[in-house]
Amino acid sequence: AGIALYVGRGSESPASVKAGYSMNTAGNDGPGVIVTGLLADEEYISAVGIDLIEGRNFTREDLLRLERDTIYSFIVNEAALSALYITPENAVGTAVSIFGRRGEIIGVVGDFHFSSLHNPIGPLVMFPEERQFDKIFIRLPAGGPSEVSAKLHNIEKIYRNIITHRPFEYDFLDQQYASLYTA
């Protein structure tokens, strides 16, 4: 307790999202808009510092509803709404489908770079699909190097007690973004 501010789970780091999907509004049988997909839980947005500008974040109920009724909750970025000709103010509650996954938009995040700054920000959709969460994202409280080091040591101890067969490996998000530009 007290080690981290947020602990989120997801499929990829926000610095390098690569999965692609087709997204359509309900009833539209056209080819759809090509979007980049990111699987995330209810703490991912807070853990990585993405700004929610409309609607709400995922909740535990969204994951339970998905298991119970196979109805998805989606959070999209502004670029995805623009591609679908939907304003952020009118997005929440819009029925959409993503590659056979039916549901509705529950929130909108501000555009952020999920690849190199040399690339324009494209359409992005986030949705909770727990079986695909293979990364943990931890936001630590502000502190100096020794405080961060102590917290990492505590996190490693917790990790090694739970996951004994895999090595403890970590990166810092700011360093991941910086590595996109080392060349």
Q: What is the pLDDT of residue 146?
A: 79
Q: How confident is the model at residue 92 (pLDDT cuts 50, 70, 90)?
A: very high
What is the DSSP track for 93-131?
Answer: T-EEEETTEEEEEEEEE----SS-TTSPP--EEEE--GG
Q: How confident is the model at residue 77 (pLDDT cuts 50, 70, 90)?
A: very high
Q: What is the mean pLDDT of residues 92-104?
A: 91
Q: Is the pTM of this model over 0.85?
A: no
Q: How confident is the model at residue 16 (pLDDT cuts 50, 70, 90)?
A: low
Residue 115 · residue 16 · CB < 8 Å: yes
Q: What is the pLDDT of residue 176?
A: 67
pLDDT > 80? residue 120: no
Q: What is the mean pLDDT of residues 5-33?
A: 75
Greatest mean pLDDT among 23-37, 47-61, 127-141, 161-175 lies in 47-61
Question: pLDDT tens digit string along 25-67?
Answer: 877 766 788 888 888 999 989 888 888 999 999 999 998 888 8
Burial pattern 148-183, b for ≥16 Cβ within 10 A else e, equals eeebeeebeeebeeeeeeeeeeeeebeeebeeeeee
Q: What is the pLDDT of residue 55?
A: 96
- Cα–Cα distance between 42 and 60 in angstroms, integer? 7
pLDDT > 90? residue 1: no
pLDDT > 90? residue 78: yes
Structure-model confidence comparison of residues 83 and 116, the more confident one? 83
- Cα–Cα distance between 67 and 182 in angstroms, integer? 42
Q: What is the mean pLDDT of residues 113-142?
A: 77
- Map tokens 């936001």 to a residue: 139
